[in-house]
Amino acid sequence: MANYRIIDKETYYRKGVYRHFTEDCKCSVSMTARIDVTDLVSYSKKTGTKFYINFLYVLCKALNSRDDYKMQYFWKTDELVCFDKINPTQYVFHEDTETCTPVYTEYFEDYEQFYKGAVSDVEAAKNTREYLLDAENHPNWFDASYISWLSYDSMNVELPDGYLYYLPIVNWGKYREENGRLMMPLTVRLNHAIADGYLVANVYRLIEKEIAGLIK
């Protein structure tokens, strides 16, 4: 079982907002914006590493840098919790069946350890055509999905009304050249009970920071 701590709702710094968006207006907030990945693409080519895995790493590091992105709701016990860390559920697309297999990859702050594990997980998943989704045994895994076929302009992920799911859902598409820079669409979805516009927008800033830290 993942390590976590229970958040006291009475002393939670977003107490009023949390109450409103869990009782009065249950909803999520989703944002799509383009991020500059020119330097990360260049770094990946120079080092002979996979851009996709490198981006997955900086995404995980950004989300794990702040507790707001590591929250979840346990409906059976009505508990608000914060995990010690969250890990990515990435996906492998099978061209022959046009289906995806979820890949549960563990996040490590050490880049080399994460990179090696992520590549190994992807290679193993290529040998199956099963969906193999097992959320019950992976409570602190968030959805990280690459939409490789399109450089899209907007996207919205819908969950059932009133469903209190707090982990991030992150999607990104193909990057494309704009004014000499490589820009990539990124969509971040968070539940409004634990995140507002600032916290969603902050994910982009943190990713930019982690890209700069990786390529330095």
Model confidence over 102-129: pLDDT tens digits?
A: 999 999 999 999 999 999 999 999 999 9
Looking at domain 4-215, its CATH superfamily turns out to be Chloramphenicol acetyltransferase-like domain (3.30.559.10)
Tell me, what's the pLDDT at 95? 94
- Average pLDDT across the chain, whole number: 95
CA distance 53 to 57: 6
Tell me, what's the pLDDT at 151? 97
Of the chain, the percentage scoring pLDDT greater than 90 comes to 91
What DSSP character marks residue 137? G
Residue 14 makes CB contacts below 8 A (sequence gap 6+) with: 193, 194
Residue 2 pLDDT grade (very low, low, confident, very high; cuts 50, 70, 90): confident
- Give residue for tokens 């860390």: 85
Burial of 159 per CB tally in 10 Å (0-12, 13-18, 19+): middle
Average pLDDT on 49-70 reads 98
Average pLDDT on 31-50 reads 98
Average pLDDT on 47-56 reads 98
Tell me, what's the pLDDT at 1? 64
Residue 161 pLDDT greater than 80, yes or no: no
Residue 158 pLDDT grade (very low, low, confident, very high; cuts 50, 70, 90): confident
Better-predicted residue by pLDDT, 21 or 2: 21
List the structure tokens of 152. 């899209």
Would you list the domain boundaries of the chain?
4-215
What DSSP character marks residue 136? G
Average pLDDT on 34-47 reads 98
Residue 162 pLDDT greater than 80, yes or no: no
What DSSP character marks residue 67? G
201 sits in the region (left: phi over 0; alpha: psi -120 to 50; else beta) called alpha
Q: What is the pTM of this model?
A: 0.96
Better-predicted residue by pLDDT, 83 or 157: 83
Alpha-carbon torsion 156, 158, 164, 168, what sign? negative
